[in-house]
Structure 1
Amino acid sequence: MTYSRHNSRNRKIFPLVIVIAIVLIAGGIWAATTLFGEGSSDRESSSSPSAESTATVEGSQSPGNDPQSPNPATPAEENGIDRPTASELGKTYDVVISNGRVINPETKLDQEGLNVAVQGGQIVLVTDQQLKGKRVIDATGLVVAPGFIDNLSYDPNPIGVWNKIADGVTSNIAMHGGTASPEKWYPYYERNMPPVHFGASFFYTQARNQFKLSRYDTAKPAQTQTLVDQAEKALNNGALGISFSLEYVPGVNDKEILPLMKLANEYNVPVYFHARYSDMEEPGTNIDAINELLGYARASGAAVHIDHINSTGGTFSMTQSLKMVSDAIAEGLDITSCIYPYDYWGTYLNSARFDEGWQERFRITYKDLQIAGTTERLTAESFRKYQQQGKLAVAYAIPKQDVIDSLKAPYVMIGSDAILEPGFNNHPRASGTFARTVGLYVREQQVISLSDAIAKMSLMPAQRLEKQAPALQKKGRIAKGMDADIVVFDYDKISDKSTVEKPEIVSAGIEYVLVNGQVALDEEGIHKDIRVGQPIKSEFLRVKAGGSSLTWEDSEVPLLEYRNANYVDLEALKAHGYAVNWDKVTRQATATSGANGGKVDVPKPQQGELMLERGYKLAWEDGSSTKLLSVGNRNYVPLSALKSHGWNLTKEGSNYKLSAA
């Protein structure tokens, strides 16, 4: 509401002015009470006269989307709390989550009493001021967090996805496994409309099966080249990375792996590895397994993710394995890992993991194996029978301390390595991974903080894959402009309920789940008619023919256009008084003014070259930094960054000109 003041030219009507002033003061008091909600709760506001026609009873579904969105110029505090305009406060949003403890791991926001407005599938406000909604969810005493991202899952089958929703998962990404044919995989799941977002890796093991190779055979060079070509096609069709399962296919060697690693580096996608060994028995130990993966990262430059290090690559050697990874990260390698928060693993009895010597390797006996979905512990006789049938068994073989130590590592995130299968066949991690992380390891054992746990379950998985998957750049955060994938849970009650005997039991304490702004779970249960999951794909942009140029003082250099912005080669700065120095560990260049200029060769990028966001940054003297764009082995800085650092930028037709300010 806006007020204006009018001064009377006729001083004789002074009494009238007094009356007007009184009216204005009263109006101001009314506006403050209405806009800021003094003395009223958010749930009460939804039933006030001003909201009566649009608010719905708690538990009902949103009646639709309003195309309006708040003013993008809304100021925000540094920690991510918005300061809405009066216009924004007057709007009625699709969903308002009121009075919750909001955690945004990207900005380190962790504050109670905040309200989150959702409109048209996006978060449009995070504020401590009262908001109106068609549906108002009272989150008093509850935690409001980004929807969990399970990037160590499998295909979003029509049974397991509902247990994911009940565990707070809003994105199910098949990076342990995946598909050899994303051009078929993605359309299939788009037609079947799962309730969670979905994506997949190029699954090397599956693709390799076309050659009828046994798990112990090594591919021939021509076969490897065919697989490289197929992997490249898969990446261009949306695959989010490349995945290997070395322990299950021990015949795969470095001559097969390195060409795929180099391809991954070229395309700026990570490679996910189930490592080769899971024990400390010679020959072939966890230390050998970690060394192998770090060696591939060094040789190729590609990013590496180590699947479930608590059960593969770190079991019985966790302290040493974690140190090896930490040292590699300090060296400048791009390495991450994950765990599932259980001290027992599970797999099929006919897999290579149960080759001869498994009892010595895993330090267990037959009685430490249990058939999933039953109470049956195995004997030598039943083991042989079920091995022939390929039954899935749980192995009680992970030291509890290994889970704790790995969870504390800053580069380790959470991934389930499971999704419930037909017949309720699987490890309980298929249903309880995320609730168990919070309930057992945060609330009960206090191994890590709640904020850190939220980061490991949302932001970190998004960041691992988002460089070439723009959809993930808007997930894993609670902030204006982010996707409205949200979980609301009761910190005092959240816990896993699934067991080895009954892996299908859903988690407790997850109160609400929003996917793409729609309520998929609430006090009435899971809404199986809400199936709004969207594909999460890699996207690659290439240099186009032609292009603009930049006249910078006395030189002319080519420009790149990328996502509606123009970029200039970083080397061009050297001709204009900047020294540019690289730090390979931080993946950051530093620009320092005052250097002698000179002629610098800036080649024109070739048509068809990939334009990639590798995460490189340029640091300026004022402490700010700018994200760089990479093409081949060259890096480009946006013209907007030069404009904000003292250069005048003007447009001349389709070209640009920079001159000293």
Structure 2
Amino acid sequence: MKTQPSTSSRRRVLKQLALAGTGLAIAPTALVSLRPRTDSLKIAINNGKVFSQGSIRPLHLGITQDNRLRLSTELLNAPTVIDASGKIVSPGFVDILADNASNPKNTYRIFEKYKISDGCTTVLQMHGGDEYPAAFHQYFDRQPHYVNYGIGVFVMRLKYIYSNPKDVYRYVEKGLEEGALGVCHSIEYQPTPFEELLEYAKLVQKYDRPLFLHLRHSSKEKELEGVSEAIALAQQTGARVHIDHLHSTGGTYNMPAALEMIDNANNMGMEITTCVYPYSYWATYIASKRFDAGWQQRFGLTYEDLTVVGTGAKITAQNFDFYRKQMGVLVAVPEGTVPFDKTVNLALQTDFCMIGSDGGIESEPRANNHPRGAGCFATALRHAQNIGMSLDKMLTKMTSLPAKLMRPSLNERAVIKDKAIADITIFDPKTIQGKATVTNPNQFSEGIECVIVNGHIAYRDKKILLSKGVPIRY
């Protein structure tokens, strides 16, 4: 991104700015009365409403030559000046629950493309990750990345490989030693004895990392048992435990009770967090245990309620068994299956709930992936405004709260303060909106004006410009 040369005529520059309309303007420094140029700055972001330290206020930002932030109450000068008038300037969004585990070597560029276009600067795969973190980083750290990236230890895969739990424990600890950000397990899909879960909790506590759990039960009758189990793990080991997507597993039918249980546990000194994605429907693989016999009764759904994501094809009694035999086919339930007012909106009122996509786009032109993989964060910002939630409260759930969970790996990110790493997302609060749908998940979000990754303008005006992401690991 370049500005016009300083010798450009004022008239010609004004004409160019007028043609730019209401979009995010890259303003020549000659146009504005600024304080003397600070040579240590390479980018200045002026006139925006900046989300910093928990509140939104008028500020100007500078990015130094070493890609750190500098805050100012005065207009700043730099070779590149971004006029963010009418826009929100936020720390780059952090997706803790991204998912690109199925075939990352062939799909990660597509996956990251739809993350940066949704305003994410740091994308962590903590629902799955990889069974061998060192090998993962040995390969991917040599590749270009649009966003910062990191993984947890993928317990499910280790259990498929090693039948002896002691071998699994050994490789989980090895993964933590190799820099994995935590341990991830989905016990609804791969039922695991509590005693074994206890060992994973002890390991993360030893290495001061979080344990991410997709809970054991999703039925109305048993879902709170899964919440109790997560609390017991935290209580017995002192580990910090994160419950994945509580509104779809654990609090779908009994959200007030689930939230009260978590809140009580935290008040007793435990550290339990959770996340939601701002959609009133879930999607998962039709071959998974969630669709074992009795699923219609458990969820109050019929065959025709299931839609193949990316194609719009409907499941029927006649083709259900056919699709069940196809590995990797994702189906979505209808909108409203998870009512906002009884689930997501309640969870968002708590200070321990954050945003996590539980998704990723892995193919083109139309992926068989939930739209949340492309539009989660823009949709969350639109949803906040729709329900009367302040943007500063929602932005906390997309930046500083996930950074606190992942501490200390993100200690210098996901915050706007002097000397923090310059991961920045600039968005228009009037137009922000996820555009991805069940029929066509492969759509960039609206309103994401500019994304800066590690001090470099990496995405602007729906175009990816640079690959400046770095690994996040211990």
TM-score when scaled to structure 2? Answer: 0.89
Residue of structure 2 in register with 1:534 after alignment = 470
2:134 to 172, 183, 186: 183
Q: Secondary structure of 1:200's partner? A: strand
1:116 to 14, 39, 61: 61
What pairs with 1:187-586 in structure 2 (closer than 5 Å)?
Answer: 187-211=138-162, 223-250=164-191, 252-281=192-221, 285-390=222-327, 391-396=329-334, 397-401=337-341, 402-423=343-364, 424-439=367-382, 441-446=383-388, 448-467=389-408, 469=409, 472-523=410-461, 525-528=462-465, 530-538=466-474
Distance 1:90 1:415 in 2: 38
Report the alpha carbon displacement of residue 379 of structure 1 after superposing the two structures with TM.
Answer: 1.2
1:91 to 5, 20, 39: 39
The change in CA–CA distance for 1:478 and 1:46 in structure 2 (over 3 A counts) is farther
Q: Secondary structure of 2:68's partner? A: strand
Q: Secondary structure of 2:219's partner? A: coil
Distance 2:3 2:423 in 1: 25
Q: Secondary structure of 1:534's partner? A: coil
Report the alpha carbon displacement of residue 209 of structure 1 after superposing the two structures with TM.
Answer: 1.1
Q: Which amino acid aligns with 1:137?
A: I
Q: Secondary structure of 1:293's partner? A: helix
Give 5+ residue unaligned stretches, structure 2: 11-15, 27-34
Report the alpha carbon displacement of residue 197 of structure 1 after superposing the two structures with TM.
Answer: 0.4
Residue of structure 1 in register with 2:30 after alignment = none
The change in CA–CA distance for 1:92 and 1:318 in structure 2 (over 3 A counts) is same
8 Å CA contact 1:487–1:510 kept in 2: the answer is: yes
8 Å CA contact 1:124–1:480 kept in 2: the answer is: yes
- CA deviation digits over 1:392-436, x for unaligned, max 9? 101233122212111222100000000101242200001110000
Distance 2:88 2:72 in 1: 15
Residue of structure 2 in register with 1:23 after alignment = none
The change in CA–CA distance for 1:533 and 1:347 in structure 2 (over 3 A counts) is same
Distance 2:86 2:443 in 1: 25
Distance 2:172 2:62 in 1: 41
- CA deviation digits over 1:53-94, x for unaligned, max 9? xxx999999xxxxxxxxxxxxxxxxxxxxxxxx88x543621
Distance 1:510 1:207 in 2: 38
Report the alpha carbon displacement of residue 521 of structure 1 after superposing the two structures with TM.
Answer: 1.3
TM-score when scaled to structure 1? Answer: 0.64
- CA deviation digits over 1:18-58, x for unaligned, max 9? xxxxxxxxxxxxxxxxxxxxxxxxx9999589x9xxxx999
- CA deviation digits over 1:345-372, x for unaligned, max 9? 1111001111111111112111211100
- CA deviation digits over 1:318-338, x for unaligned, max 9? 011111111111111110000
8 Å CA contact 1:154–1:172 kept in 2: the answer is: no
Q: Which amino acid aligns with 2:211?
A: V
Distance 1:475 1:244 in 2: 26
Distance 1:258 1:270 in 2: 13
Give 5+ residue unaligned stretches, structure 1: 1-42, 62-85, 212-218, 539-661
Q: State the identity as a percent.
A: 35
Distance 1:452 1:124 in 2: 22
Please say if 1:138 is aligned against 2:83: yes
8 Å CA contact 2:133–2:178 kept in 1: the answer is: yes
8 Å CA contact 1:121–1:516 kept in 2: the answer is: no
The change in CA–CA distance for 1:430 and 1:345 in structure 2 (over 3 A counts) is same
Please say if 1:101 is aligned against 2:101: no
Q: Secondary structure of 2:279's partner? A: coil
Q: Secondary structure of 1:315's partner? A: coil
Query: RMSD of the TM alignment (CA)?
Result: 2.3
Residue of structure 2 in register with 1:125 after alignment = 70
8 Å CA contact 2:69–2:421 kept in 1: the answer is: no
Report the alpha carbon displacement of residue 121 of structure 1 after superposing the two structures with TM.
Answer: 5.0
Report the alpha carbon displacement of residue 377 of structure 1 after superposing the two structures with TM.
Answer: 2.3
The change in CA–CA distance for 1:495 and 1:527 in structure 2 (over 3 A counts) is same
8 Å CA contact 1:306–1:337 kept in 2: the answer is: yes
Q: Which amino acid aligns with 1:445?
A: I
8 Å CA contact 1:121–1:518 kept in 2: the answer is: no
Q: Which amino acid aligns with 1:432?
A: G
Instruction: Count residues in correspondence.
Output: 442
The change in CA–CA distance for 1:202 and 1:45 in structure 2 (over 3 A counts) is same
8 Å CA contact 1:162–1:526 kept in 2: the answer is: no
- CA deviation digits over 1:588-645, x for unaligned, max 9? xxxxxxxxxxxxxxxxxxxxxxxxxxxxxxxxxxxxxxxxxxxxxxxxxxxxxxxxxx
Q: Which amino acid aligns with 2:370?
A: H
8 Å CA contact 2:99–2:359 kept in 1: the answer is: yes
Determine which structure has greater relative contact order: mean sequence separation of CA pairs < 8 Å that are 6+ residues apart, divided by chain length.
2
8 Å CA contact 1:46–1:136 kept in 2: the answer is: no
Distance 1:361 1:47 in 2: 67
Q: Which amino acid aligns with 1:421?
A: E
The change in CA–CA distance for 1:116 and 1:261 in structure 2 (over 3 A counts) is same
8 Å CA contact 1:121–1:484 kept in 2: the answer is: no
Distance 1:344 1:128 in 2: 43
